[in-house]
Amino acid sequence: MALIPNSLILLLLSTLLIIIPTRQRQHPLDSLTPAEFSKVRAVVHSSYPIPSHTTAFHYVGLEDPDKLTVLSWLKDPTAKTPPRQAFVIARIDQTTHEIIVDLTVNKIVSDKLYDGYGYPLLTFEEQIAADALPLKYAPFLESIRKRGLKIEEVVCGSFAVGWYGEERRKKRIARVMCYCLDGTVNAYMRPVEGVTVTVDLEETKIIAFKDRLTVPIPKGDGTDYRGSKQSPPFLAQLKGITMIQPDGPSFTIDGHRIRWANWDFHLSFDSRAGPIISLASIFDLQKQKFRQVLYKGFVSELFVPYMDLTEEWYYRIFLDAGEYGYGLCAVPLEPFRDCPENAVFMDAYSAGQNGMPVNKPDVFCIFEKYAGDITWRHTETLIPGKEIREVRPEVTLVVRMVSTVGNYDYINDWEFKQSGSIKVTVGLTGLLEVRGSVYTHNDQIKEEVYGTLLAENTVGAHHDHFLTYHLDLDVDGDANSFVKSNLQMTRVADQMSPRKSYWRVVSETAKTESDARIRLGAEQGDLLVVNPNKRTDLGNSIGYRLIPGSVTHPVLSDDDYSQIRGAFTKYNVWVTPYNKSEKWAGGLYADQSRGDDTLARWSLRNRGIENKDIVLWYTLGFHHVPYQEDFPVMPTISSGFELRPANFFESNPVLKVKPPPTVNWSNCSRKYV
């Protein structure tokens, strides 16, 4: 057995110490507690008692307190905590209610009926009930029998149906597609193609069934991804690697507030967004104070359109955050695998369909990361007789959550750097959606199959992933402007230089929303959020710049129903004035939505955004053409962006950073067996 080093014991003890709550008052942006979820349920049921009413809770989360009130609360430690309220979307007697519950006085203070297009996100409970229906449905059982399959090997999943120009549907429906295990746990690689089951989610009954065609079920051989099911030969095993902090972590967690190095921020959980980073501020060593950077940042929507036009596939256009809940789909993180051994884990809570709190254990991990990167360095060789070398290793703080939305696993990281940068990364892994096919070799294909042949009878469908982030930057205050600084090629007009051209920076401040919409790609330059009311000692505007990752644009036509719903992906960058109600880029009600309540629609008002409290929206994307290496499980592919100081500090903020002390590894021996 492996020996446990003393350093690891110290780490575990210090980990226990840093999460002991020490604060005296509840933070106004804290996630709802289990007791508060229960209180919300009781208050709603007191107005809509059982059994007189049928009530299903589809979303329960913190009702955002007034922003100015929160900022005032932060400045005055004696100020009264803003009122705690919960925002509830419930289906009561099959009608959508938007309810605000005041948790201080235990009563409903607002109850509005919603009668527009779209429905709230699907609950786990109704999906599970829908998935079970085909397994006892005679026509489906016959379809399974004629394919020579065993019903006990069949599992099913629910799919949102989207919108394709139909007149308004009065029912909340989903389509159920099924798979056959037969010796593998990789169900997604063995679809029962050609069979579609349509379910009324609230009546919990099948309302339509179609068995359109029969194609071979892809083989299960080679699809099981579990380590215990792999057989030799194996790749060479690497030697042991570890991340040990003998003196414990350098960060502290006080409730949901996290302090590390020169950063101070708040971490909360939302069943739709997942992790929410709030009130991120950084300590300025020269000014000897904390300065605001980010009021709130989170994943607003995840748009995943598939490109297969066949009858069983054309509607697979997903708004995963609004239809399934990016946070609801968060999974427990595994120590030493999902997160390094120096990580600290945090639980979260959501509401079940019945309103009761549901524990989501180990949904976040927080850890300091050192991967051999360098914060800054220089070797000076110019001075005769001297060689001066200065190097500072880069240690960062990472907050991680993994959301498994059906077949895909999304690894979400918020990484804080001592330099003042916030690096946001998402990694995609998991399983592809594949379609059963008659083809066993690529040479047989003479038609459009909307994907890549990955294995015999297995086509991986072309699709996209677009993640839109809501970034309410408050750069040294909440009155900000958006500046586009383009690099402009300029011809040399006189004989002042033998050069013929150079580039110069041409900056433009966006005055309205239309000025700030950007499709990244062709133009070179910087995108900045600046505080026009403050300048450095040298007179430069204080700001933060957006450094995009890979640039991806939608390829669908603007009049495609799918793209109408996902129109917020048309531009990589949008800027809007802060509006408390504008949180979800795909609309508050994404299921069966029609694109009439999205970021793209809000921005048509073309509001003023200069020297105001503004929100930056950034969309990163992936065009996914599947390849055989993605089968049977996909290696992680990542993208992201960085928010980096731009004349925010007077000089390099990490000039005086001290490297961590060298660990005496003789005291940290570990035996590997």
Whether 408 is catalytic:
yes
Distance CA 237, CA 577 (A): 53
Question: First vs last Cα of the chain: how many Å apart?
Answer: 7
Contact (Cβ atoms closer than 8 angstroms) between residue 109 and residue 119: no
Structure tokens at 386: 């001297």
Distance CA 96, CA 94 (A): 7
Cβ neighbors of 231 (< 8 A, separation 6 or more) are none
Catalytic residue among 59, 408, 439, 544, which? 408
Catalytic residue among 30, 320, 413, 474, which? 320
Task: Say if residue 344 is exposed, middle or buried (CB neighbours under 10 Å; 0-12, 13-18, 19+).
Answer: buried
What residue type is assigned to position 270 of the chain?
Answer: D
Contact (Cβ atoms closer than 8 angstroms) between residue 468 and residue 568: yes
Whether 320 is catalytic:
yes
Contact (Cβ atoms closer than 8 angstroms) between residue 89 and residue 59: yes
Listing DSSP states for 110-140 in one string gives EEEEE-SS-BPPPPHHHHHHHHHGGGG-HHH
Structure tokens at 64: 């955002």
Listing DSSP states for 26-79 in one string gives --TTPPPPHHHHHHHHHHHHHHS-TTTS-EEEEEEEEPPPPHHHHHHHHH-TTS
Q: What is the per-residue burial (b if ≥16 Cβ within 10 Å, else e) of 9-46?
A: ebbeebbeebeeeeeeeebbbbbbeeebbebbbebbee
Q: Which residues are catalytic?
A: 320, 408
